[in-house]
């Protein structure tokens, strides 16, 4: 399924503690800047990254974020993949609905990130972990 994405460049950031969420957000902002995303898109990307990296930290304790410059069908994009081997999500449909939280959150992280990015795919299995694959394309 990923074979049609050509990866031009990539990096990886480990999320081990709370401060890594900030490190990750900053790193993604720098990549977005370097790719010439406009300020609004930079903010969309960094907001989504904050939420998804924070979910790793909050629910799985640790994980990693892969940052890739990709090309597909003549378009360039920033693909960001959030991977953890934490408890996973039992009911993905519920987790994706606005306002639903298993803890004391606002329940806006996942649905918000989906709205902010162009592509969003959540794969999760209870007891195994969670992978969220997102992508933002540069305008044509």
Q: How far is the CB of 86 from Mg ion (least distance, A)?
A: 13
Part of the chain binding Mg ion (CB under 5 A), chosen from 10-18, 30-38, 40-48, 106-114: 106-114
Structure-block tokens of residue 80 = 């960001």
Token pair 């519920």 is found at 94
107: contact with Mg ion by CB under 5 A: no
- Which of ligand ATP, Mg ion, none is residue 131 near (CB under 5 to 8 Å by kind)? none
- Which of ligand ATP, Mg ion, none is residue 77 near (CB under 5 to 8 Å by kind)? none
Residue 124 CA to chain centroid, in angstroms? 14
91: contact with ligand ATP by CB under 6 A: no
* Helix (H) or strand (E) segment spanning residue 26: helix 18-34
CB of 42 or CB of 130, closer to ligand ATP? 130
**Distance between CA 3 and CA 139 in Å, rounded?**
22
């Amino acid at each position: 399924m990923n074979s049609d994405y050509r990866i031009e460049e990539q990096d990886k950031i480990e999320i081990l503690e709370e401060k890594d969420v900030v490190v990750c957000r900053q790193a993604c902002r720098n990549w977005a800047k370097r790719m010439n995303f406009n300020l609004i898109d930079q903010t969309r990307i960094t907001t989504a990254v904050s939420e998804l990296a924070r979910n790793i930290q909050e629910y799985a304790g640790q994980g990693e974020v892969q940052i890739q410059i990709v090309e597909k069908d003549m378009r360039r994009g920033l693909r960001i993949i959030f991977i953890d081997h934490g408890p996973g999500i039992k009911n993905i449909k519920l987790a994706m609905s606005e306002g639903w939280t298993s803890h004391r959150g606002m329940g806006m992280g996942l649905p918000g990130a989906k709205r902010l990015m162009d592509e969003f795919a959540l794969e999760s299995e209870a007891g195994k972990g969670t992978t969220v694959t997102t992508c933002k394309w540069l305008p044509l």
